[in-house]
Structure 1
Amino acid sequence: MKELTRRVYEAIKLDPLASQQSLADRLQMSRESVAGHIMQLTRHGYILGKGYLLAEQHTFVVIGGANVDINGHSHKALQAYDSNPGTINQSPGGVGRNIAENLARLGEKVHLIAPIGEDQRGNWLIEQTRLCGVETLHILRHESLPTGSYLSINDEDGQLQAAIADMRIIDALDENKLKTKQAILQSAYRIIVDANLPSNTIDWLAQQTFDTNWIADAVSATKAPRLRPILSQLTLLKANQDEARAILACTETDPKKLAQDLLTTGVKSVLLSLGSQGVLYADSENCLQKNCHPSQPISDSGAGDALLAGFLSASQQNQKLDQALSFALACAAMTLESPFANNPELTIQNVTQWIASL
């Protein structure tokens, strides 16, 4: 940043609502010169919008799906083609939104960019997301498509048996929509994308030159291959074994070999979920597997999202790799023990106490 531009930036920090003329008078510059520096600050992501909203340091921006989860949990062994006694819960969901909520609950600054319908369900979803600490200013409302919905059925052990996802609205999140969010994307410390995004949108993101750390969640074996164009730019890829095989178009069954093969695509580090066997982390210098913590699962919805958020939060806390993986697995376990895709009790203090109680 040039010296004059920095002076304007520092003046705005002291008085974000100041007019261009008052800034010019204070700095003994012309109003036109101040306007030019403000344009540069906006273009490079230091200023995010009207009123001189300043970019925050170490901010996460999550781009992905946001939907309403409707989860049915059978009380007894699930009987196909029949009505099963159980409980039904509605909660906020969507991979990108879930990651954002978990990060916010763990104390991180996070903005969500996601398409949501202009309907009552969408209003409820935005309010619930805002209440958990996520910045919802950059959510994109769609006037005709409904807010995304995810309907899941879990057995008596909390294992997913079937699901239907109405995520048509995610296809509306194209490059033209994201171009309106250039300032927040430019200012982001880390950008997290999920593979729910359309292939063309991921292609566009891969072509951008934002000075940021890219992170991706592979979401599912069907959608994971969409991430191929952006793999070489990723600081971290989170995937399970099926998703990794789909990305690599292979049948490899050795987790360590899978992780190493992902690294050869240009990914800097891999967080490979092994389900009930825990998690494996690999980068150019490390390859460490960590077993799951013991837990009493109620629902496995959102556990992978909590795993990624927990690992990122632990990294922000500068925890050692073994500790970071333990923290991430604890976030996943606490989510497994919740009927919701996001455990409302997820905080750094609670996770730390949960680990200490083992």
Structure 2
Amino acid sequence: MNDLERKILTAIKQQPMATQQELAAALQLSRESVAGYISRLTQKGAILGKGYILPNANNIVVLGGANVDLTGTSTANFRMGDSNPGVVNQSAGGVGRNIAENLARLGNDVSMLSLVGHDHRGRFLIEHAREVGISTDDIIQHPDFATSSYLAMNNEQGELVGAIADMAIIDQLTPALLADKLPRLQAATTLVVEANLLPETLSWLAQQKLSAPIIADAVSAAKAPRLIPLLAKIDVLKVNRFEALAILKKPETDSSSVEQLIDELLAQGVGSVLLSLAEQGVMYGDAEHKYLQSVPACQIASDTGAGDALIAGYVHSLKLTEQIKPRLGFAIACAVATLESKDAVSTLLTETYVCQRFADFLTTTEFPLTELESHSNE
């Protein structure tokens, strides 16, 4: 951004309702010149579209899927091919949406860029997002496709016996549709993406001039290879072993060590890797460091959503400390808080709750608990 662009942006901040002619008079420029600079500032993401809407200083954009989860659990011995008495629950879900909710509950300014239908489930997701603190300005409602839905059936022991995923709408989140949202992506201070997006969408994203660090979730071994065109732009990649193997085009029987897999991902241009090892913890790796962080003891209620909380916790920790070990510790604490919840996103999750619930564990990772407590008391 050059000096004149900075002056125009400062003038807009001081008079956000000013017309281009009024800005031109104040800056002693022609209206045409001001219009041209405003157009360029919009392309750079310094202005968010019409009305001179300016982005917040710290804003996270999550680009990914949002769906409604419908779960039916039998209250009696489950009989296949028959109607079973039970309980049906509806909740908000989706990898990207779960990450966004975790970030919002941790106190971040987060916006969800996703696609829902013009239907009651789409309205449910938008309303739920607003309730938990996610900005919905960038959620697009598609006129022709139904909101993404996941229908699961569990037996009387809570074990999955069958499921149907209706998620065709996510394939409509194409480069053509996202082109109008490019200023929003360019204005983000952190961009979180996930592999439910189409390969061509991720390829398009790799071609854009974005200043924000990109955090990516591989989602599954089947979808992880979609991230390949984006690897050189990814600052933090969260994978498990099978997802790493899929990205590297290795068979599941490959005997490479965790360290070797991380090194190969780094060689593809990834800035750093969070490799989940389930109950064994998480291995972090970048060009200079490798750390294995174990998981604190906990009472597991459900493992759904723990990975989404892990990546959200790590993103949040970026503003809490510059040290890698404490960041990793905080991320794992967020994941464990979710393991202890029956919900995919723990309703207890806040920065304060995580620091209090896992104080002993975080101390072992040299997390700055004292500094945060002092800050919260100011």
Q: Give TM-score, length-normalised by structure 1.
A: 0.92
- The more displaced of 258-267 and 308-317 is 258-267
Cα offset for 1:104?
A: 1.4
Cα offset for 1:78?
A: 8.0
Give the structure 1 partner of residue 128 of structure 2.
128
Answer 1 or 2: higher relative contact order, Cα 8 Å, separation at least 6. Answer: 1
Offset from partner CA, 1:223-258 (integer Å, 9 cap, x none): 001111111111010011111111112223532222
| 1:245/1:252 contact within 8 Å kept | no
Cα offset for 1:26?
A: 2.6
Residue 101 and residue 192 in structure 1: after superposition, are their counterparts in 2 closer, same or farther (change >3 A)? same
Instruction: State the superposition RMSD in angstroms.
Output: 2.3
Cα distance in structure 2, aligned partners of 1:73 and 1:326: 35
Q: Return the letter of the residue paired with 2:264.
A: D
Cα offset for 1:15?
A: 2.1
- The more displaced of 202-211 and 164-173 is 202-211
Give the structure 2 partner of residue 345 of structure 1.
348
Residue 343 and residue 85 in structure 1: after superposition, are their counterparts in 2 closer, same or farther (change >3 A)? farther
Cα distance in structure 2, aligned partners of 1:291 and 1:77: 38
- After TM superposition, the structure 1 = structure 2 runs for residues 1-358 of structure 1, keeping only pairs within 5 Å, are 1-72=1-72, 87-153=87-153, 163-250=163-250, 251-252=254-255, 254-318=257-321, 320-356=323-359
Cα offset for 1:160?
A: 6.2
Q: Return the letter of the residue paired with 1:136.
A: T
Cα distance in structure 2, aligned partners of 1:74 and 1:340: 18
Q: Give TM-score, length-normalised by structure 2.
A: 0.88
Offset from partner CA, 1:3-24 (integer Å, 9 cap, x none): 2221111011112122222222
| 1:158/1:299 contact within 8 Å kept | no
Cα offset for 1:313?
A: 0.6
Cα distance in structure 1, aligned partners of 2:258 and 2:79: 34
Task: Give secondary structure in 2 for the equivalent of 1:257.
Answer: helix
Unaligned runs of 5+ in 1: none
Q: Return the letter of the residue paired with 2:236.
A: L
| 1:158/1:298 contact within 8 Å kept | no
Cα offset for 1:289?
A: 0.9
Residue 191 and residue 160 in structure 1: after superposition, are their counterparts in 2 closer, same or farther (change >3 A)? farther
Cα distance in structure 1, aligned partners of 2:156 and 2:289: 38
Task: Give secondary structure in 1 for the equivalent of 2:300.
Answer: coil
Task: Percent identity, please.
Answer: 49
Q: Return the letter of the residue paired with 1:269.
A: S
Unaligned runs of 5+ in 2: 362-378
Residue 160 and residue 94 in structure 1: after superposition, are their counterparts in 2 closer, same or farther (change >3 A)? same
